[in-house]
């Protein structure tokens, strides 16, 4: 197991280095006149040659490429990701403010998604081609196809008319108002959770179907185990690997901020911060956010991969 963990960690590091280089070069691809545009757009600098040089200095693009890169990486490792071009605060301030919101949304949505998907997927597989299976498959396909932002828009109107509920413009933190905070997360989490459950349910169903045909399930049944033990101990555990992958991917995606849902429901999370950074052309913030999101994704993938080893000993030793 130790070798397996070591191998996986060693594979992650180069990918992390590559992504940092990609993000870094991407920022350097901005044409020079964009910086002039930034100077005039951002207002806080005024449109002068000085302002332009100031931005170049903040970005550090007056130095050679490699020096810049290592400065940036060095900064990241010591928790200094640069200064936002828009707020002129350290970009980490904004991240610290928005990340917990995305985290809360991610956790709630995942819980909803798993709570819906696993039972539905297992039942659909066990009762294949019956009415419940068809319903589950149809609903999941609709869930895959109907864009969440459209549903969200429609639901908001429905809520505002039926319950006179509109998403508060001001975000309420859990410390300020636990009830208000939870209510603010309720609808977006349900919506995201149901959306995510479509993929997970389909994966659970097909993985279960695959496993239920295996010899060891037949053996388990033949030796007189109850159906519940067969399903939960023998089938489900083996069907879990692809399901865990999907759940991990989704969690990573959620942690990166679900931009549109955050925008629609007025949640100032990481996704919305990234969108705002893009509209403000706040390159230091974009750079930091994308790097953070990519690192989270890789970390989650690593954990998922390691969980394979735990779920299936064959993977550990191969």
Partner 1 sequence: MNTAVATAPIAGARYKAISLVRRSLRFAKREPIGTAAGILIVLLLASAIFAPLIAEFDPTKTRVGRPFTGPGWDHWFGTDQVGRDVFSRVVHGGRVSLTVGIVSVLIGTTVGTIIGMLSGYFGGFVDIVLQRIIDAIMSIPTMVLALALISILEPGTDKLILTIAVVMTPSSARIVRGAVLAVKPNMYVEAAKALGAGSGRILIRHILPNIIAPILVIGSVQVGNAILLEASLSFLGLGPPPPNPSWGYMISQEGRDVLTTAPWIGVFPGVFLSLTVFGFNMLGDTIRDVLDPKLRGRIG
Per-residue binder mask for partner 1 (CB under 8 A), 229-268, x = binder: -----------------------xx--xx-xx--x-----
In terms of CB distance, is 140 or 184 closer to partner 1? 140
What DSSP letter does each residue of 214-264 carry, written as one string?
Answer: SHHHHHHHHTT--HHHIIIIIIIHHHHHHHHHHHHHHHHHHHT--HHHHHH
- Please state, in angstroms and as integers, the Cα–Cα distance from residue 43 to each residue in 31, 35, 48, 85, 264, following that order: 19, 13, 11, 11, 28
CA 91 to chain centre: 20
> How many beta carbons lie within 10 A of that of residue 258, not counting itself?
28
Establish if 25 lies at the interface with partner 1 (CB under 8 A).
Answer: no
- Alpha-carbon span 5 to 200, nearest angstrom: 26
In terms of CB distance, is 4 or 149 closer to partner 1? 149
CA 277 to chain centre: 18
> How many beta carbons lie within 10 A of that of residue 185, not counting itself?
20
In terms of CB distance, is 96 or 157 closer to partner 1? 157
Of 15-23, 173-181, 218-226, 240-248, which segment contacts partner 1 by CB under 8 A? 15-23
Put residue 43 in one of left, alpha, beta given phi > 0 → left and psi -120 to 50 → alpha. left
Spatial contact of 55 and 45, defined as CB atoms under 8 Å apart:
yes
Establish if 19 lies at the interface with partner 1 (CB under 8 A).
Answer: yes
Spatial contact of 103 and 96, defined as CB atoms under 8 Å apart:
no
Among the listed residues 85, 95, 286, 288, the single contact to partner 1 using CB under 8 A: 286
In whole angstroms, the minimum distance from the beta carbon of 33 to partner 1 comes to: 12
Establish if 57 lies at the interface with partner 1 (CB under 8 A).
Answer: no
Burial 8-45 (b: 16+ CB within 10 A, else e): beeebeeeeeebbeebbeebeeeeeeebeebbeebeeb
Establish if 58 lies at the interface with partner 1 (CB under 8 A).
Answer: no
In whole angstroms, the minimum distance from the beta carbon of 154 to partner 1 comes to: 7
For residue 58 the two structure tokens come to: 């903040």
In terms of CB distance, is 302 or 311 closer to partner 1? 302
- Alpha-carbon span 301 to 311, nearest angstrom: 15
Establish if 111 lies at the interface with partner 1 (CB under 8 A).
Answer: no
Q: How many residues bind partner 1 (CB under 8 A)?
A: 47
Establish if 128 lies at the interface with partner 1 (CB under 8 A).
Answer: yes
Establish if 30 lies at the interface with partner 1 (CB under 8 A).
Answer: yes
- Alpha-carbon span 265 to 175, nearest angstrom: 20
In whole angstroms, the minimum distance from the beta carbon of 225 to partner 1 comes to: 25
Establish if 6 lies at the interface with partner 1 (CB under 8 A).
Answer: no
Of 69-77, 142-150, 228-236, 239-247, which segment contacts partner 1 by CB under 8 A? 142-150
Among the listed residues 5, 126, 225, 275, the single contact to partner 1 using CB under 8 A: 275
Of 73-81, 108-116, 157-165, 174-182, which segment contacts partner 1 by CB under 8 A? 157-165
Instruction: Name the site residues for partner 1 (rule: CB under 8 A).
Output: 11, 14-16, 18-19, 22-23, 26, 29-30, 128-129, 141-142, 144-147, 149-150, 153-154, 157, 160-161, 252-253, 256-257, 259-260, 263, 271, 274-275, 278, 281, 286, 289-290, 293-295, 297-298, 301
């Amino acid at each position: 197991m130790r070798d397996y963990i070591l191998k996986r960690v060693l594979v992650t590091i180069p990918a992390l280095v590559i992504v940092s280089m990609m993000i870094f070069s991407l920022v350097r691809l901005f044409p020079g006149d964009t910086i002039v545009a930034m100077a005039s757009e951002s207002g806080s600098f005024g449109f002068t040659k000085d302002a332009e040089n100031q931005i170049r200095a903040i970005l550090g693009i007056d130095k050679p490429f490699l020096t810049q890169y290592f400065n940036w990486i060095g900064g990241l490792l010591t928790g200094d990701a640069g200064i936002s071009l828009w707020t002129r605060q350290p970009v980490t301030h904004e991240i610290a403010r928005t990340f917990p919101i995305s985290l809360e949304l991610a956790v709630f949505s995942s819980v909803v998604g798993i709570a819906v998907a696993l039972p539905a997927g297992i039942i659909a597989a066990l009762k294949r081609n019956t009415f419940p299976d068809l319903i589950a498959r149809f609903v999941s396909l609709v869930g895959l196809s109907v864009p969440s932002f459209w549903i969200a828009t429609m639901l908001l109107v429905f809520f505002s008319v039926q319950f006179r509920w509109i998403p508060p413009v001001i975000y309420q933190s859990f410390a300020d108002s636990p009830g208000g905070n939870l209510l603010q997360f309720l609808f977006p989490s349900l919506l995201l959770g149901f959306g995510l459950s479509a993929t997970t349910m389909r994966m659970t169903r097909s993985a279960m179907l695959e496993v239920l045909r295996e010899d060891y399930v037949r053996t388990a049944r033949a030796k007189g185990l109850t159906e519940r033990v067969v399903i939960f101990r023998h089938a489900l555990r083996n069907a879990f690997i692809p399901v865990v992958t999907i759940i991990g991917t989704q969690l990573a995606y959620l942690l990166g901020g679900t931009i549109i849902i955050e925008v629609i429901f007025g949640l100032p999370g990481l996704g919305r911060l990234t969108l705002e950074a893009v509209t403000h052309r706040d390159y230091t913030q974009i750079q930091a956010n994308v790097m953070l999101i990519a690192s989270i994704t890789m970390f989650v993938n690593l954990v998922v991969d390691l969980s394979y080893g735990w779920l299936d000993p064959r993977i550990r030793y191969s």
